[in-house]
Amino acid sequence: MTTKDKVRALLDRLPDDCSLDDLLYHLYVMQAVARGEADREAGRTVSHEQVKAELRRKWLLGAAR
């Protein structure tokens, strides 16, 4: 599906009285999801466990200061 097709599909899903801000928000979300999927496919992700460990380390070190 081309970008143009995706935008058309989005416009078909939105209500007729949507605002430009609504449209821009949904386009932004579509773009963010696409970037996330590309990052996942390219292996540019961090596991949930890695994030938990990093946050735990930062919070524990921050509390010790």
The per-residue pLDDT for 62 is: 72
**Could you give phi then psi for residue 14, rounded to 5 degrees?**
-75, 150
Asked if pLDDT for residue 63 goes beyond 80, the answer is no
CA distances from 43 to 5, 8, 34 (A): 27, 30, 14
Tell me the pLDDT tens digit for each residue of 47-57.
999 999 999 99
CA distance 42 to 53: 23
Q: For the chain, what are the domain ranges?
A: 3-64
Residues 21-60 pLDDT 10s: 999 999 999 999 999 999 999 999 999 999 999 999 999 8
